[in-house]
Structure 1
Amino acid sequence: MAGSVIDHAHVWMGYLARPRELLARSYDGIWELISNGTLVYIPGLSKTIHIGPREVALGLAVGIPALSVTRYLVYFVTGYIKYRMQASKTGLPMVSVPYLETNIFFSNLVRTNTYKRLFGMLPSWSKRWARWVRPEWRWIAKYSIHADMGDIFQVVTPEQINVNIADADVLMDVLNRRTEFTKYQPINGIVAVFGENVLTVEHHDWTRHRKVIGPSFSESTNAIVWNETIRQASAMLRYWRNTPPSDHKLLLHSLKLVGLNVMSYVEFGIPLPFDHEKDVTVIGEMIGALIAPKWLLPLLGNEFGQMLDAKAAIDSYIHAILEREESAPGQNVSESGKETLISALVKANAEAMAEEATGSPRAGLSNSEILGNVYVMILAALDTTSTALQFALINLAIHQDKQAWLHEQLDKDLASAEVPLSADPATWEYDTLFRKLTGPMCVAYETLRTHPSIPATLRWTGSEPRTITWHEDPLKSPRHIVLPAQSVVVLNFVGVQYNPKYWGLDAAEYKPERWAMESYTHEEQKDQGIQPSAKFPGVRRPPRGAFLPWSEGFRACLGRRFAETQMAAVLAVLFSQYRCEIRQQPGETSEGAKRRAQRALDGATMQMSLAARDRIELVWVPRK
């Protein structure tokens, strides 16, 4: 008996020693493992060994997990050594971590309460790397990690090197070299689920997409955005005013509904009421349907089946509009008779296809590519703009002095446009008022600076090393740094937007007035090189490369003016006649409510964009 146990133990050890050279075959119901000398290193076992099915199953149960662990450890160690050696050649500071924050399994694990409890039990030395593996670590750290490590540093893992950048000049250099630093495709693949679009393609394909998509974002489109946003924001305010706060949907939910309704009207010419409960349901269904791959949805139960139905309905509807536009161009218009965004898109595509028919290189988009771009537009309206407005409203409710500044500035803005304070927002004209909304735009920009919807974006060096030039010390010669091939370049937007080199020692403070030209004397404007924005005369131009909510360079966001128009209109409607406060919970003081709201902001998490997930209710009170 003892000998049998020892023999079995030796067999299992053999699985671990040379598993790939073992051959298994069936004979008379008995599994025969033939070693062919592979177990020669184990005394007494250099022969064919006959064991039963139970032993085989047990051997596999032990051997396969052990092999997987061994293989991972080998991969871990060799990968770490390889990338550590590459990173050391750059001369940049580095930190080593076991995995990237983009690892879906581990990034979700670190959010669990179990992990948090275990983390509290770890020795202090191991916690040095733990902060780097949370998906939101850049948002949590702001500029503080760069203050410790430098404006450019590396995070080294067994998988790759991540070069983190919070220097404005280097950021702009990378953004402008779009053929050398391409978008990081593993992340782009998430958005490509909708279909190839202007965010996912590169090189000539990107030029082709941009040529077709660009004309859709015209001033006439922005005027439609302005009018419909005012209508939706006014309806949202009435809902908030006439419904007890405890019965409200989440603040972010309401703002997403505004975004959805505006996009429905601007893109398809279909007006939707704000308070339609079915529309509220569709938001959640559509977002889930957009993000999840088609093949996965049927496997996830009835709720996800509804998402599949929602996506199928959206696909069918958009295809019908495309067919109608192609057969009768210009028929899909809004109630005002103006061309919708999808009409402009189809028109531009038809012109590109006509150019292609003359023998020019491929210029038009396929229907699936048009569909992909339409989805990306919807997602942007639902997510990034809505979360930015959520951050703006909560910040203004916390910082009552900043809200008072907005009220005062907004009154000046309306007066400068000769708009009476008592005028119905529905009468506000885009051409007359939008460019004069200094207060709302200062709030919008400061919110996007301190709470960027996308804290960072990724680029890729590709198959060749890339050289960047860094003026680390203005008193010394610039450094020329060679980044290894196949390295990820992380453009840390939140880092550069909190960098005191560009925003002063108060960079961490929420100060909308820092954007107002009137906040600076003529001497300060001259000494600091502060100039007015080309679009908004009362708003300062940000330091180049230090404010990137819409990115910059060749691949800057095409929908920037769309988002600016929507944010300015919502803020102007809400704060022209009302002020807001954080609704206090039972037994809570006003200051306690503000602290709770601040914790919600600080604890924002990433999904498609950064957003506060905790329930924060606002109370709207008429201005005196």
Structure 2
Amino acid sequence: MGTLLILVVCFGAAIAAYTISSIIHLLYNIREVRKSGLPYIILPWHEMNLFHVLTCGFNRDLWQYLPQWTYFKIFWRDWCHHTKFELFEKYGDVICAVSPGGVTIYVGSVEVARQMYERRNDFPKATKVYEYVRFYGDNVLTLEGAEWRRHSRYTHPPFNEGVHKVVWDEGVKQARAAVNVWSRQNSCLNIGRDLRTISMNVLSLSNFGVAMPFDYESETTEHFGWRNIPPGHKMSYGSTVNHVLDNIIPLAIAPKWLLRNGPESLKRIGQSYDELGIYLKELTQDDGKSGASDGGNLLRALVKASAGDGPGKGSRLTDAEVFGNAFIFAVAGLETTTGTLHYAIMYLALNPDVQDWLYTDLQEALKDEDQDPSKWEYGKVYPKMASVLCVIHETLRLNAPHMHIPKWTAGKYQPVNWKGKQCLIPPGASAYITTTALHYNPSLWGDTVNGFHPQKWDLRSSSEGWVRTDPKTGVKTPITPSETPRIGTQSAPYCYLRTPVKGAFAPFSDGWRACVGKNFALVEMAAVLAVLFRDCSVRIKRQEGETQGMADNRGKSAISNSKSYLTVMIRHDVELEWIRR
């Protein structure tokens, strides 16, 4: 009894000490934020503390039964995705969340975001956020400063026009195979899985020199495939990558010894981790020799880097760094492209008028091209894909793969200009440029900010573009940037697209750390969507007893209930019906 009493007293003392410490830290952080002059809200715990992580899977459902205060929404999982600009409209376009654990700045102001992009040394990338993708070694995503520049010297050059041509050709090939399979089935039940297959196959060929078929039934006994398990392996390459992607959270937080020795379900996850490491090692040993362009591919560049050859002579990459970069380009790029294609197809299925506009423009753009898409030349056809790029850009605006671009203030106060005054952001503060807030800010995108309107991107149309109506006076004002529009090039026909206000649109990040694979992804998605919608239309397939409106509501629900793991994606498929025009 005495021992139990001592334990209770010790436990109570520990709780009291923790509470007092938390209050002291909270008061200190409030004082720091007050000095900054920025608006703030108080959180009882840090957003990423253990309680939040453990409850974030169901807390949106839990808090909906509490009073409908806007404040509660910041505790939802993926709150930025679900609330869009709502919290920023209430609290200000820069929000300081103050907790005992620190200060977190959420930036929905294009004025402040631009300063953070331009001042890369004052607001370095918060690489600790990406520790979960450091599975096999450091890579271009997990590093900053001189180390990032060293990795960048090897990973940037392979993303060139030679590789983009391979991406275009393979994207067209994979999309044609998908249309044939879906036509046989008269529907697509697992659109998310099938789009991941397309994206993985494009990445495998263009970056690693590995050709893989879309149709599993046509697969040969190639070493890297979807079904075949080669000697020395326990899982196929395709199954391995899929299993790693589906279990990215347990892989990030669970120790590897537990994954290898725990229950069967965990052993399977550990096995996929080990298997992918073996496959990456085999790919690097093969040297990417079947790669697809005169300029080589990513894997060949990484192998040269490991030998101390190439543009960074004298600063070779270790084997672990080669594997780390191979992993990040094999997996991270796959999820973002897959998710964007999924959203684009769903939005088109829910907006038949936009489908008709896209179809009409594609017919005009391709009228002089061969009826066989496999003969479409990248350099000739891609520059005509303005309407497809409009669809992609509007999809990325509505559903950027990443809700935040993470930065921090390092070890000193950082001044920023905000609404005509200078504000000091405290040392050690996390600063998240919130892409969802920027993408849904009506002062940047106009009154139709919540709708899917890709035509607004098209400079060739008679559309008035983005227009903002003053809520007090009712006066309509066109939203146009002060910068000169981009000049289109052969590989990026942006001259046909409206240019948003600088800093307002950042699905691929911005500034020095913008995504190196941006054009790679745009070319791939344009190829796939052009093939799919040149001859086909799509709609949500009705279930028995449903009207089309009821089916569409299921599609809208799937979009609104998207969740973020590695990226924000639709996690629940709805069956689609593809119809030949």
User: How far 1:465 moved relative to its partner?
Assistant: 0.7
Which of 116, 124, 129 aligns to 2:61? It is: 116
Letter in 2 for 1:55: G
Letter in 2 for 1:585: Q
Point out the structure with max Rg over C-alpha: 1
Which of 333, 340, 352 aligns to 1:400? It is: 352
The answer to whether residue 200 in structure 2 is matched with residue 260 in structure 1 is yes
User: How far 1:488 moved relative to its partner?
Assistant: 0.8
Within 5 Å, which residues of 2 pair with 1:482-521? 482-520=424-462
Matched with 2:386 is 438
TM-score (norm 1): 0.81
User: How far 1:186 moved relative to its partner?
Assistant: 3.2
Which of 597, 607, 617 aligns to 2:565? It is: 607
Aligned mates of 2:427, 2:79 — CA distance in 1? 25
The answer to whether residue 275 in structure 2 is matched with residue 317 in structure 1 is no
Which of 327, 341, 355 aligns to 2:298? It is: 341
> Over residues 533-554 of structure 1, what are the superposed CA-to-partner deviations in whole Å (9 max), with x where a residue is unaligned?
5321322222211110111111
* Number of equivalences: 543
Aligned mates of 2:88, 2:183 — CA distance in 1? 44
Aligned mates of 1:97, 1:553 — CA distance in 2? 31
Aligned mates of 2:197, 2:37 — CA distance in 1? 49
User: How far 1:132 moved relative to its partner?
Assistant: 0.7
User: How far 1:290 moved relative to its partner?
Assistant: 6.0
The answer to whether residue 106 in structure 2 is matched with residue 164 in structure 1 is yes
User: How far 1:111 moved relative to its partner?
Assistant: 3.2
Letter in 1 for 2:543: Q
Matched with 2:328 is 376
Q: CA distance change for structure 1 residues 526 and 71 in 2, over 3 Å: closer, same or farther? A: closer
Q: RMSD of aligned C-alpha atoms?
A: 2.6
The answer to whether residue 48 in structure 2 is matched with residue 83 in structure 1 is no
The answer to whether residue 45 in structure 2 is matched with residue 99 in structure 1 is yes
Which of 334, 358, 369 aligns to 1:419? It is: 369
The answer to whether residue 464 in structure 2 is matched with residue 464 in structure 1 is no
User: How far 1:161 moved relative to its partner?
Assistant: 1.1
Aligned mates of 1:388, 1:183 — CA distance in 2? 24
> Over residues 400-450 of structure 1, what are the superposed CA-to-partner deviations in whole Å (9 max), with x where a residue is unaligned?
1111111112222223xx314xx1211111111112101111100100001
Aligned mates of 1:379, 1:559 — CA distance in 2? 13
Matched with 1:301 is 263
Aligned mates of 1:603, 1:438 — CA distance in 2? 30
Aligned mates of 1:583, 1:186 — CA distance in 2? 43
Letter in 1 for 2:336: T
User: How far 1:224 moved relative to its partner?
Assistant: 1.0
User: How far 1:522 moved relative to its partner?
Assistant: 10
Aligned mates of 1:526, 1:485 — CA distance in 2? 35
Secondary structure of 2:405's partner? strand
> Over residues 266-321 of structure 1, what are the superposed CA-to-partner deviations in whole Å (9 max), with x where a residue is unaligned?
22212112132636633432325766153342144333323333333332333234
User: How far 1:480 moved relative to its partner?
Assistant: 1.1
Q: CA distance change for structure 1 residues 230 and 356 in 2, over 3 Å: closer, same or farther? A: closer
RCO greater where, 1 or 2, for CA within 8 Å and sep 6 or more?
A: 2
Matched with 1:531 is 485
Within 5 Å, which residues of 2 pair with 1:331-370? 332-334=289-291, 339-347=296-304, 350=307, 352=309, 356-357=313-314, 363-370=315-322
Aligned mates of 1:612, 1:523 — CA distance in 2? 28
Matched with 1:620 is 578
**Contact 1:180 1:461 (8 Å CA) reproduced:** yes
Aligned mates of 1:132, 1:521 — CA distance in 2? 36
**Contact 2:459 2:497 (8 Å CA) reproduced:** yes
User: How far 1:377 moved relative to its partner?
Assistant: 0.6
Identity rate, percent? 27
Secondary structure of 1:215's partner? coil
User: How far 1:190 moved relative to its partner?
Assistant: 1.3
Q: CA distance change for structure 1 residues 433 and 200 in 2, over 3 Å: closer, same or farther? A: same
User: How far 1:216 moved relative to its partner?
Assistant: 1.2
TM-score (norm 2): 0.87
Aligned mates of 1:238, 1:507 — CA distance in 2? 36
The answer to whether residue 400 in structure 2 is matched with residue 452 in structure 1 is yes
Q: CA distance change for structure 1 residues 353 and 568 in 2, over 3 Å: closer, same or farther? A: closer
**Contact 1:533 1:539 (8 Å CA) reproduced:** no
The answer to whether residue 213 in structure 2 is matched with residue 273 in structure 1 is yes
Secondary structure of 1:95's partner? strand
Unmatched runs of 5 consecutive residues or more in structure 2: 217-225, 228-235, 467-477
Secondary structure of 1:517's partner? coil
**Contact 1:215 1:348 (8 Å CA) reproduced:** no
> Over residues 515-537 of structure 1, what are the superposed CA-to-partner deviations in whole Å (9 max), with x where a residue is unaligned?
11113589999976573553213
Aligned mates of 1:404, 1:550 — CA distance in 2? 28
> Over residues 162-185 of structure 1, what are the superposed CA-to-partner deviations in whole Å (9 max), with x where a residue is unaligned?
111112232122022222212224
> Over residues 188-237 of structure 1, what are the superposed CA-to-partner deviations in whole Å (9 max), with x where a residue is unaligned?
21122331111111111111111111111111111111111111111122
Q: CA distance change for structure 1 residues 282 and 515 in 2, over 3 Å: closer, same or farther? A: same
**Contact 1:231 1:426 (8 Å CA) reproduced:** yes
**Contact 1:318 1:371 (8 Å CA) reproduced:** yes
Aligned mates of 1:164, 1:225 — CA distance in 2? 36
Matched with 1:196 is 138
The answer to whether residue 490 in structure 2 is matched with residue 545 in structure 1 is no
Letter in 2 for 1:430: Y
**Contact 2:179 2:532 (8 Å CA) reproduced:** yes
Aligned mates of 1:336, 1:555 — CA distance in 2? 25
Letter in 2 for 1:106: H
Structure whose residues are more often helix by fraction = 1
Aligned mates of 1:454, 1:101 — CA distance in 2? 17
Letter in 2 for 1:311: Y
**Contact 1:288 1:307 (8 Å CA) reproduced:** no
Greater shift in the superposed pair: 143-152 or 205-214: 143-152
Letter in 2 for 1:82: Y
**Contact 1:257 1:382 (8 Å CA) reproduced:** no
Letter in 1 for 2:206: V
The answer to whether residue 533 in structure 2 is matched with residue 591 in structure 1 is no
Greater shift in the superposed pair: 458-467 or 295-304: 295-304
User: How far 1:364 moved relative to its partner?
Assistant: 2.6
Q: CA distance change for structure 1 residues 219 and 337 in 2, over 3 Å: closer, same or farther? A: closer
Q: CA distance change for structure 1 residues 406 and 466 in 2, over 3 Å: closer, same or farther? A: same
